Amino acid sequence: MLTQPKDLRTGRSVWMDTRVPTIPTKTLTQDATADIVLVGAGISAAITAQALASRGHKVVMLDRRPPLSGSTAATTALLQYEIDLPILKLKAKVGLERAIRAWQRTRLALDTLADKVGALNIDCDLERRSSLYLAGNLLNAGQLRREAALRNRAGLHTDYLDRAELRSRYGIDRAAALLSFGNLTANPLRLAAGFLLGAQRHGAEIFSPVTVAGVESRDGRVVITTEAGPTVHAGTAIYATGYELPKGVRRTKHRIGSTWAIATRPQPRKLWPDQCLIWEASDPYLYVRALPDGRVICGGEDEDFQDEAARDALLPDKTARLEEKLGKLFPALDTKADYAWCGNFGSTPSGLPTIRRVGDAPNILAILAFGGNGITFSSLAAELLVGMVEGRVDIDAGLFR
Protein backbone atom coordinates (compact mmCIF):
# COMPACT_ATOMS: atom_id res chain seq x y z
CA MET A 1 0.00 0.00 0.00
CA LEU A 2 1.24 3.52 -0.75
CA THR A 3 0.43 4.77 2.78
CA GLN A 4 -0.55 3.07 6.03
CA PRO A 5 -3.93 4.38 7.27
CA LYS A 6 -3.69 6.20 10.63
CA ASP A 7 -6.17 7.42 13.17
CA LEU A 8 -5.31 11.03 12.29
CA ARG A 9 -7.49 12.84 14.83
CA THR A 10 -10.00 12.38 17.66
CA GLY A 11 -12.63 14.63 19.21
CA ARG A 12 -14.69 17.32 17.56
CA SER A 13 -12.94 20.41 16.29
CA VAL A 14 -14.80 23.69 16.35
CA TRP A 15 -14.93 23.81 12.51
CA MET A 16 -16.88 20.60 12.32
CA ASP A 17 -19.91 22.47 13.68
CA THR A 18 -19.67 25.28 11.12
CA ARG A 19 -21.40 25.33 7.74
CA VAL A 20 -19.03 24.02 5.10
CA PRO A 21 -20.03 23.69 1.44
CA THR A 22 -20.61 20.14 0.22
CA ILE A 23 -17.90 18.88 -2.12
CA PRO A 24 -19.26 16.68 -4.92
CA THR A 25 -17.34 13.42 -5.29
CA LYS A 26 -17.48 10.54 -7.77
CA THR A 27 -17.09 6.79 -7.52
CA LEU A 28 -14.17 5.28 -9.41
CA THR A 29 -15.73 2.34 -11.23
CA GLN A 30 -13.44 2.11 -14.25
CA ASP A 31 -9.95 3.07 -15.42
CA ALA A 32 -9.37 6.78 -15.90
CA THR A 33 -6.78 9.16 -17.34
CA ALA A 34 -5.58 12.60 -16.27
CA ASP A 35 -2.69 14.99 -16.73
CA ILE A 36 -2.12 15.06 -12.99
CA VAL A 37 -3.34 12.81 -10.19
CA LEU A 38 -3.26 14.12 -6.65
CA VAL A 39 -3.33 11.48 -3.93
CA GLY A 40 -5.28 13.14 -1.10
CA ALA A 41 -8.07 15.72 -0.91
CA GLY A 42 -7.01 17.76 2.12
CA ILE A 43 -5.91 21.39 2.06
CA SER A 44 -2.51 20.63 0.52
CA ALA A 45 -4.07 18.88 -2.44
CA ALA A 46 -6.89 21.45 -2.66
CA ILE A 47 -4.66 24.50 -3.20
CA THR A 48 -2.43 22.68 -5.68
CA ALA A 49 -5.40 21.21 -7.56
CA GLN A 50 -6.97 24.64 -8.00
CA ALA A 51 -3.67 26.12 -9.22
CA LEU A 52 -3.14 23.31 -11.75
CA ALA A 53 -6.74 23.02 -12.96
CA SER A 54 -7.05 26.77 -13.48
CA ARG A 55 -4.01 26.57 -15.78
CA GLY A 56 -5.69 24.01 -17.99
CA HIS A 57 -4.34 20.73 -16.59
CA LYS A 58 -6.79 17.84 -16.31
CA VAL A 59 -6.68 17.04 -12.58
CA VAL A 60 -7.98 13.96 -10.77
CA MET A 61 -7.93 13.67 -6.96
CA LEU A 62 -8.16 10.34 -5.15
CA ASP A 63 -8.82 10.08 -1.41
CA ARG A 64 -9.53 7.12 0.83
CA ARG A 65 -11.66 9.39 3.03
CA PRO A 66 -14.30 12.00 2.16
CA PRO A 67 -12.58 15.28 1.14
CA LEU A 68 -11.24 17.38 4.03
CA SER A 69 -11.71 14.74 6.68
CA GLY A 70 -8.04 14.08 7.43
CA SER A 71 -5.84 16.42 9.50
CA THR A 72 -7.34 19.46 7.77
CA ALA A 73 -10.46 19.06 9.94
CA ALA A 74 -8.32 19.25 13.11
CA THR A 75 -6.10 22.23 12.38
CA THR A 76 -6.35 25.38 14.50
CA ALA A 77 -5.60 27.48 11.39
CA LEU A 78 -3.12 30.07 12.56
CA LEU A 79 -1.82 30.92 9.11
CA GLN A 80 1.62 32.32 9.76
CA TYR A 81 4.68 33.15 7.74
CA GLU A 82 6.70 32.82 10.94
CA ILE A 83 8.38 29.44 10.67
CA ASP A 84 8.63 27.27 13.82
CA LEU A 85 12.37 27.82 13.83
CA PRO A 86 13.32 31.49 14.24
CA ILE A 87 15.92 32.86 11.81
CA LEU A 88 18.36 32.91 14.71
CA LYS A 89 18.14 29.10 15.01
CA LEU A 90 17.45 28.23 11.37
CA LYS A 91 20.67 29.95 10.25
CA ALA A 92 22.68 27.43 12.28
CA LYS A 93 21.12 24.65 10.17
CA VAL A 94 21.01 26.13 6.68
CA GLY A 95 23.09 29.33 6.79
CA LEU A 96 21.88 32.90 7.20
CA GLU A 97 21.16 33.63 3.56
CA ARG A 98 19.00 30.53 3.09
CA ALA A 99 17.27 31.01 6.44
CA ILE A 100 16.28 34.55 5.49
CA ARG A 101 15.16 33.44 2.05
CA ALA A 102 13.02 30.63 3.52
CA TRP A 103 11.29 33.14 5.78
CA GLN A 104 10.78 35.64 2.94
CA ARG A 105 9.40 32.99 0.60
CA THR A 106 7.04 31.70 3.26
CA ARG A 107 5.78 35.26 3.71
CA LEU A 108 5.20 35.52 -0.04
CA ALA A 109 3.29 32.22 -0.02
CA LEU A 110 1.01 33.51 2.73
CA ASP A 111 0.30 36.71 0.81
CA THR A 112 -0.45 34.67 -2.31
CA LEU A 113 -2.87 32.55 -0.30
CA ALA A 114 -4.70 35.68 0.88
CA ASP A 115 -4.83 37.07 -2.67
CA LYS A 116 -6.23 33.81 -4.04
CA VAL A 117 -8.91 33.65 -1.37
CA GLY A 118 -9.94 37.14 -2.49
CA ALA A 119 -9.81 36.31 -6.20
CA LEU A 120 -11.82 33.11 -5.75
CA ASN A 121 -14.23 34.89 -3.42
CA ILE A 122 -13.91 32.17 -0.78
CA ASP A 123 -16.08 32.87 2.24
CA CYS A 124 -13.87 31.54 5.06
CA ASP A 125 -13.61 34.31 7.69
CA LEU A 126 -10.13 35.19 6.46
CA GLU A 127 -8.64 37.95 8.65
CA ARG A 128 -5.22 39.61 8.76
CA ARG A 129 -3.73 39.32 12.24
CA SER A 130 -0.54 40.46 13.85
CA SER A 131 1.26 37.94 16.01
CA LEU A 132 2.93 38.02 19.39
CA TYR A 133 5.85 35.64 19.99
CA LEU A 134 6.52 35.38 23.72
CA ALA A 135 9.89 34.73 25.33
CA GLY A 136 10.10 31.22 26.81
CA ASN A 137 12.50 28.42 27.60
CA LEU A 138 13.82 28.32 23.99
CA LEU A 139 14.47 32.03 23.43
CA ASN A 140 15.04 34.60 26.18
CA ALA A 141 14.63 38.36 25.92
CA GLY A 142 18.15 38.92 24.54
CA GLN A 143 17.69 36.28 21.86
CA LEU A 144 14.33 37.74 20.89
CA ARG A 145 15.99 41.12 20.45
CA ARG A 146 18.54 39.52 18.09
CA GLU A 147 15.78 37.68 16.25
CA ALA A 148 13.94 41.00 15.74
CA ALA A 149 17.09 42.50 14.22
CA LEU A 150 17.42 39.56 11.78
CA ARG A 151 13.79 39.71 10.74
CA ASN A 152 13.95 43.46 10.16
CA ARG A 153 17.10 42.95 8.10
CA ALA A 154 15.08 40.47 6.02
CA GLY A 155 12.39 43.08 5.40
CA LEU A 156 9.93 41.37 7.75
CA HIS A 157 8.94 44.25 9.98
CA THR A 158 9.01 43.14 13.62
CA ASP A 159 8.79 45.14 16.87
CA TYR A 160 10.55 44.10 20.06
CA LEU A 161 8.40 44.59 23.19
CA ASP A 162 10.08 44.56 26.60
CA ARG A 163 8.33 43.34 29.75
CA ALA A 164 6.82 46.74 30.60
CA GLU A 165 5.48 47.35 27.09
CA LEU A 166 4.12 43.82 26.80
CA ARG A 167 2.30 44.22 30.10
CA SER A 168 0.88 47.64 29.32
CA ARG A 169 -0.29 46.77 25.79
CA TYR A 170 -1.46 43.18 26.28
CA GLY A 171 -1.59 42.57 30.03
CA ILE A 172 0.81 39.63 29.60
CA ASP A 173 3.62 39.11 32.09
CA ARG A 174 6.66 37.74 30.20
CA ALA A 175 10.25 38.91 29.83
CA ALA A 176 9.72 40.11 26.24
CA ALA A 177 7.87 39.42 22.97
CA LEU A 178 8.10 40.06 19.24
CA LEU A 179 5.18 41.69 17.50
CA SER A 180 4.94 40.95 13.79
CA PHE A 181 2.36 41.77 11.17
CA GLY A 182 0.42 40.28 8.28
CA ASN A 183 -0.41 36.76 9.43
CA LEU A 184 -3.88 35.30 8.84
CA THR A 185 -6.68 33.35 10.46
CA ALA A 186 -9.48 31.48 8.70
CA ASN A 187 -12.01 28.71 8.96
CA PRO A 188 -9.81 25.99 7.42
CA LEU A 189 -12.63 23.75 6.19
CA ARG A 190 -14.33 26.58 4.32
CA LEU A 191 -10.93 27.75 3.04
CA ALA A 192 -10.04 24.32 1.68
CA ALA A 193 -13.56 23.70 0.36
CA GLY A 194 -13.29 26.97 -1.59
CA PHE A 195 -10.15 25.72 -3.31
CA LEU A 196 -11.66 22.29 -4.05
CA LEU A 197 -14.76 23.89 -5.57
CA GLY A 198 -12.50 26.27 -7.50
CA ALA A 199 -10.60 23.28 -8.90
CA GLN A 200 -13.85 21.56 -9.81
CA ARG A 201 -15.04 24.64 -11.70
CA HIS A 202 -12.01 24.04 -13.95
CA GLY A 203 -12.89 20.39 -14.48
CA ALA A 204 -11.01 18.70 -11.61
CA GLU A 205 -12.65 15.46 -10.44
CA ILE A 206 -12.57 14.03 -6.92
CA PHE A 207 -12.98 10.29 -6.50
CA SER A 208 -13.71 9.12 -2.96
CA PRO A 209 -13.41 6.71 -1.25
CA VAL A 210 -10.44 5.43 -3.25
CA THR A 211 -7.31 4.04 -1.61
CA VAL A 212 -4.22 4.32 -3.76
CA ALA A 213 -2.28 1.07 -3.50
CA GLY A 214 0.76 1.96 -5.59
CA VAL A 215 2.24 4.39 -8.09
CA GLU A 216 4.71 3.41 -10.77
CA SER A 217 6.58 5.56 -13.24
CA ARG A 218 6.59 3.85 -16.67
CA ASP A 219 7.72 5.22 -20.03
CA GLY A 220 7.34 8.84 -18.98
CA ARG A 221 3.85 8.31 -17.52
CA VAL A 222 2.55 7.19 -14.13
CA VAL A 223 0.28 4.25 -13.43
CA ILE A 224 -1.77 4.54 -10.24
CA THR A 225 -3.26 1.35 -8.91
CA THR A 226 -6.13 1.44 -6.43
CA GLU A 227 -7.26 -1.09 -3.83
CA ALA A 228 -10.66 -1.42 -5.47
CA GLY A 229 -9.20 -2.32 -8.88
CA PRO A 230 -9.46 0.51 -11.42
CA THR A 231 -6.20 2.06 -12.59
CA VAL A 232 -5.54 5.73 -13.33
CA HIS A 233 -2.97 6.71 -15.98
CA ALA A 234 -1.49 10.19 -15.78
CA GLY A 235 1.44 12.36 -16.75
CA THR A 236 2.33 13.20 -13.14
CA ALA A 237 1.35 11.96 -9.67
CA ILE A 238 1.53 14.23 -6.62
CA TYR A 239 1.38 12.77 -3.11
CA ALA A 240 -0.51 15.10 -0.76
CA THR A 241 -1.19 12.45 1.85
CA GLY A 242 -0.58 14.56 4.97
CA TYR A 243 0.72 12.63 7.96
CA GLU A 244 0.12 9.26 6.28
CA LEU A 245 3.58 9.16 4.83
CA PRO A 246 3.96 7.74 1.33
CA LYS A 247 6.36 4.93 0.53
CA GLY A 248 9.46 5.93 -1.37
CA VAL A 249 9.79 9.42 0.14
CA ARG A 250 13.02 9.76 2.08
CA ARG A 251 11.91 10.85 5.52
CA THR A 252 14.67 10.34 8.04
CA LYS A 253 14.11 13.81 9.48
CA HIS A 254 10.32 13.84 9.47
CA ARG A 255 8.70 13.13 12.80
CA ILE A 256 5.07 12.47 13.61
CA GLY A 257 4.00 13.31 17.14
CA SER A 258 0.76 14.22 18.91
CA THR A 259 -0.91 17.54 19.63
CA TRP A 260 -4.01 18.80 21.49
CA ALA A 261 -6.34 21.79 21.18
CA ILE A 262 -9.38 23.34 22.87
CA ALA A 263 -11.91 26.05 22.03
CA THR A 264 -13.74 28.00 24.74
CA ARG A 265 -17.29 29.29 24.59
CA PRO A 266 -17.81 32.68 22.84
CA GLN A 267 -16.73 35.62 25.05
CA PRO A 268 -16.06 38.55 22.69
CA ARG A 269 -15.87 41.17 25.43
CA LYS A 270 -13.02 39.43 27.23
CA LEU A 271 -10.56 39.20 24.33
CA TRP A 272 -7.12 40.84 24.22
CA PRO A 273 -6.29 43.90 22.07
CA ASP A 274 -6.38 43.35 18.28
CA GLN A 275 -6.86 39.60 18.86
CA CYS A 276 -3.38 38.94 17.57
CA LEU A 277 -2.13 35.38 17.32
CA ILE A 278 -0.09 34.45 20.37
CA TRP A 279 2.59 31.75 20.51
CA GLU A 280 5.67 31.18 22.55
CA ALA A 281 9.32 30.25 22.21
CA SER A 282 8.92 27.28 24.56
CA ASP A 283 8.96 23.51 24.53
CA PRO A 284 6.23 22.34 25.00
CA TYR A 285 4.69 25.38 23.48
CA LEU A 286 1.30 27.04 23.63
CA TYR A 287 -0.53 29.03 21.01
CA VAL A 288 -3.72 31.03 21.10
CA ARG A 289 -6.08 32.65 18.60
CA ALA A 290 -9.58 34.08 18.66
CA LEU A 291 -12.53 33.20 16.43
CA PRO A 292 -14.90 35.81 14.96
CA ASP A 293 -17.61 34.81 17.48
CA GLY A 294 -15.29 35.42 20.45
CA ARG A 295 -14.27 31.84 21.16
CA VAL A 296 -10.63 31.33 22.03
CA ILE A 297 -8.65 28.45 20.58
CA CYS A 298 -5.64 27.29 22.55
CA GLY A 299 -3.37 24.46 21.46
CA GLY A 300 -0.01 22.85 21.93
CA GLU A 301 1.25 20.56 24.70
CA ASP A 302 2.85 18.48 21.91
CA GLU A 303 4.41 15.08 22.65
CA ASP A 304 6.88 13.18 20.49
CA PHE A 305 4.97 9.88 20.40
CA GLN A 306 2.55 8.73 17.69
CA ASP A 307 0.58 6.12 19.65
CA GLU A 308 -3.00 7.13 18.87
CA ALA A 309 -4.56 5.23 21.78
CA ALA A 310 -2.17 6.94 24.23
CA ARG A 311 -2.82 10.27 22.53
CA ASP A 312 -6.58 9.91 22.93
CA ALA A 313 -6.29 8.71 26.53
CA LEU A 314 -4.45 11.94 27.36
CA LEU A 315 -7.21 14.17 25.97
CA PRO A 316 -8.83 14.95 29.39
CA ASP A 317 -5.46 15.71 31.05
CA LYS A 318 -4.20 17.81 28.16
CA THR A 319 -7.51 19.69 28.03
CA ALA A 320 -7.15 20.57 31.71
CA ARG A 321 -3.54 21.64 31.15
CA LEU A 322 -4.47 23.88 28.20
CA GLU A 323 -7.32 25.42 30.23
CA GLU A 324 -4.89 26.13 33.07
CA LYS A 325 -2.16 27.63 30.86
CA LEU A 326 -4.67 29.80 29.02
CA GLY A 327 -5.98 31.01 32.39
CA LYS A 328 -2.48 31.99 33.44
CA LEU A 329 -2.05 34.04 30.29
CA PHE A 330 -5.47 35.71 30.51
CA PRO A 331 -6.90 35.41 34.05
CA ALA A 332 -10.17 37.14 33.09
CA LEU A 333 -11.08 34.54 30.42
CA ASP A 334 -13.44 31.64 31.04
CA THR A 335 -11.05 28.93 29.82
CA LYS A 336 -13.39 25.94 30.16
CA ALA A 337 -13.23 23.90 26.95
CA ASP A 338 -16.39 23.85 24.86
CA TYR A 339 -14.50 21.77 22.26
CA ALA A 340 -11.44 19.55 22.79
CA TRP A 341 -9.64 17.52 20.15
CA CYS A 342 -6.26 16.02 19.34
CA GLY A 343 -4.38 14.67 16.36
CA ASN A 344 -1.15 13.56 14.81
CA PHE A 345 1.23 16.35 13.98
CA GLY A 346 4.27 16.29 11.70
CA SER A 347 7.44 18.28 12.20
CA THR A 348 10.97 18.60 10.87
CA PRO A 349 14.07 19.79 12.74
CA SER A 350 14.31 22.86 10.48
CA GLY A 351 10.58 23.64 10.59
CA LEU A 352 10.66 23.55 6.77
CA PRO A 353 8.46 21.41 4.51
CA THR A 354 9.57 18.88 1.92
CA ILE A 355 8.34 19.63 -1.61
CA ARG A 356 10.21 17.50 -4.12
CA ARG A 357 10.43 14.66 -6.61
CA VAL A 358 10.16 11.18 -5.16
CA GLY A 359 13.31 9.15 -5.76
CA ASP A 360 14.52 9.18 -9.36
CA ALA A 361 11.10 9.31 -10.96
CA PRO A 362 10.76 12.65 -12.80
CA ASN A 363 6.97 12.62 -12.64
CA ILE A 364 6.19 11.61 -9.05
CA LEU A 365 6.18 14.59 -6.69
CA ALA A 366 5.37 14.95 -3.00
CA ILE A 367 4.27 17.60 -0.51
CA LEU A 368 5.15 16.98 3.11
CA ALA A 369 3.80 20.24 4.52
CA PHE A 370 5.05 19.50 8.04
CA GLY A 371 5.39 21.92 10.95
CA GLY A 372 3.22 24.58 12.54
CA ASN A 373 2.99 26.35 9.17
CA GLY A 374 1.43 23.37 7.40
CA ILE A 375 -1.21 25.42 5.61
CA THR A 376 1.14 28.23 4.58
CA PHE A 377 3.42 25.50 3.25
CA SER A 378 0.48 24.05 1.30
CA SER A 379 0.27 27.40 -0.48
CA LEU A 380 4.03 27.40 -1.06
CA ALA A 381 3.84 23.84 -2.37
CA ALA A 382 1.22 24.83 -4.94
CA GLU A 383 3.61 27.47 -6.34
CA LEU A 384 6.58 25.12 -6.51
CA LEU A 385 4.65 22.12 -7.82
CA VAL A 386 3.02 24.04 -10.67
CA GLY A 387 6.53 25.11 -11.68
CA MET A 388 7.84 21.54 -11.51
CA VAL A 389 4.94 20.15 -13.53
CA GLU A 390 5.38 22.84 -16.19
CA GLY A 391 9.16 22.51 -16.29
CA ARG A 392 9.98 25.91 -14.78
CA VAL A 393 12.83 26.23 -12.32
CA ASP A 394 11.89 28.08 -9.13
CA ILE A 395 14.92 29.75 -7.57
CA ASP A 396 13.76 28.70 -4.10
CA ALA A 397 13.00 25.05 -4.87
CA GLY A 398 16.28 23.95 -3.30
CA LEU A 399 15.30 25.46 0.05
CA PHE A 400 12.39 23.09 0.45
CA ARG A 401 13.67 19.74 -0.73
Ligand X SMILES: Cc1cc2nc3c(=O)[nH]c(=O)nc-3n(C[C@H](O)[C@H](O)[C@H](O)COP(=O)(O)OP(=O)(O)OC[C@H]3O[C@@H](n4cnc5c(N)ncnc54)[C@H](O)[C@@H]3O)c2cc1C
Site for ligand X, rule CB under 6 A: 2-3, 8-9, 39-45, 62-65, 70-72, 74-79, 211-212, 240-242, 244, 259, 261, 299, 343, 345, 369, 372-376
Q: How far is the CB of 105 from ligand X (least distance, A)?
A: 15
- Our CB check for ligand X shows the closer of 73 and 156 to be 73
- Our CB check for ligand X shows the closer of 9 and 89 to be 9
Q: How far is the CB of 50 from ligand X (least distance, A)?
A: 13
Q: How far is the CB of 95 from ligand X (least distance, A)?
A: 25
Q: How far is the CB of 1 from ligand X (least distance, A)?
A: 6
- Our CB check for ligand X shows the closer of 160 and 185 to be 185
Closest residue to ligand X, judged by C-beta, is 374
- Our CB check for ligand X shows the closer of 212 and 263 to be 212
In three-state form (DSSP H/G/I as H, E/B as E, the rest C), the secondary structure along the chain is: CCCCCCCCEEECCHHHHCCCCCCCCECCCCCEEEEEEEECCCHHHHHHHHHHHCCCCCEEEECCCCCCCCHHHCCCCEECCCCCCCHHHHHHHHCHHHHHHHHHHHHHHHHHHHHHHHHCCCCCCCEEEEEEEECCCCCCHHHHHHHHHHHHHCCCCEEEEEHHHHHHHHCCCCCEEEEEEEEEECCHHHHHHHHHHHHHHCCCEEECCCCEEEEEEECCEEEEEECCCCEEEEEEEEECCCCCCCCCCCCCCCEEEEEEEEEECCCHHHCCHHHCEEEECCCCCEEEEECCCCCEEEEEEEECCCCHHHHHHCHHHHHHHHHHHHHHHCCCCCCCEEEEEEEEEEECCCCCCEEEECCCCCCEEEEECCCCCHHHHHHHHHHHHHHHHCCCCCCCHHHHC
- Our CB check for ligand X shows the closer of 5 and 362 to be 5
- Our CB check for ligand X shows the closer of 47 and 176 to be 47
Q: How far is the CB of 79 from ligand X (least distance, A)?
A: 6
Q: How far is the CB of 208 from ligand X (least distance, A)?
A: 8
Q: How far is the CB of 97 from ligand X (least distance, A)?
A: 25
- Our CB check for ligand X shows the closer of 200 and 259 to be 259
